[in-house]
Structure 1
Amino acid sequence: MKKPFYKLKRFYIPCGLLIAFVIFISLAYRPLELIFWDKYYYEKENQIRKEISKLFWSNEEEFKKVFVEQNLNQELKLNQKELLNYMHNFKKDFKFMQILGLDNAYLVALKNKDVLFTLQMQNNLNYFYFISNNTDLKEINNYLNVVDEFLVFMSEIEKLPSKYNPGKIMFEFTFVNYNTLFFGFTLDINLMCSIPQKEQLLENMINSYKKMNLLYDINLKTEYQELYETIYGAKKPNRLINFAKGRLNACGR
């Protein structure tokens, strides 16, 4: 008697391989897509956003024209949604990238996605608060809500083993810059003082600097000297914290 077709090897082996392939794609697609983006598109996109940022300081009218024509506000919203999706799935994606040996490449790509978003957000705030004089806090409240998402994400980054300390330092540094934006995007003290989470933003900066120093002290200074100098430069690291404190003190006058 012949075996039923579903018991034949030529049936269940291909089916098993197909199922395994589908599972692999479902687990690998998002993080591999991010790594691919980082390798082939990040540098170009980052340079474009830097040029737009420079344009704001040199030619406001041209900056405004570019911002509107390229619909950069909508682009930022889409990138914000994408970045949050990566953050929400970080734990699962990172474990799978460890299995594939792509964990460091994934961390670098995610950090660069974070850096690009911060730069895009700076351009967005420049447009709404310097040029459009939008003082209803609608846009900034949207990004303040992202702070809470970043805090959850950073708690996952901090759980990584010590071998990932250089990457953890860079994430802390980009998080400092993210919080600093809200103190420096406007010269309008009244608008600055109306930001509801301004004290929390300062606390985030202080905590991140403490963690960066701790991570750096754990490692051999000679090994990560270049990284440390890139972050801190020739000036004291407290310069951003002191700047933010000065803005907060002005609110109490």
Structure 2
Amino acid sequence: MFGLNKPKEQKQEQKSPGDWVSLVEERITQAEDWEEKRQMMAQVNYYRGNQWLVWNPTSKKMITAPLENGEQRITVNQIRPRMMVKLAKQIKNRVKFDVIPDSNDETRIEIAKASSKFLKYWWEQTGMDRKTRDIFLNNGVKGWCAAKVYFDAESGQDITPGEGEIGFEEDMQRLYTGEIRCRICDPLTVYIDPAAEMDEEIRWIVERNPRDIDDIKERYGKDVAADESVGFAAAEGF
């Protein structure tokens, strides 16, 4: 018989806020692909009718190309109408879905029916028809996009116990039932583990979005300085 020593449990090292910021910035640097972003920004601007553009490698933005002497520019946007026709075909029929029971047991069948009703209710409440349209439009113009499905613990019905009720604590934070949400993410703001060759291999994803400094103060209680380097202004929105 051979005895094996029980492996020592490794303690998770506490990270400071600065450590987390450095880690996120490192991840962004690893995943940043300016060739892809430049192509996306060019496609968005062409879709919007801004075709007289050049890439500024210093600011990493699309800028209006300088006019040559005597040059006259006429823009005829053939891209947007064709994209709208394609989009109309893609969303002509609503997405159909159903929950299938995993057995012929009557209880499982009833659960599946109830789940189908909930999904249809959730689909309507979260505006998934519009988000499906956004997915197809992003795919057509930018090449891809991401849908972030998450649990929002700060939404839903307030279930904070009152004084004298089970679970009540002094100065406790408000408790809510929470809600399942879905948000379509602009691929220009998403940074994906570059080592992954398939979705199943993705270890981390970073999403970077601008936030108002007053909102950050209210939500997190932190004072931060405004970042003047926020880009992609020329490619935002449709």
Highest CA radius of gyration, 1 or 2? 2
Task: Answer whether TM exceeds 0.5 for this pair.
Answer: no
Normalising to structure 1: TM-score of the pair?
A: 0.20
Which of the pair is proportionally richer in strand?
2
Normalising to structure 2: TM-score of the pair?
A: 0.21
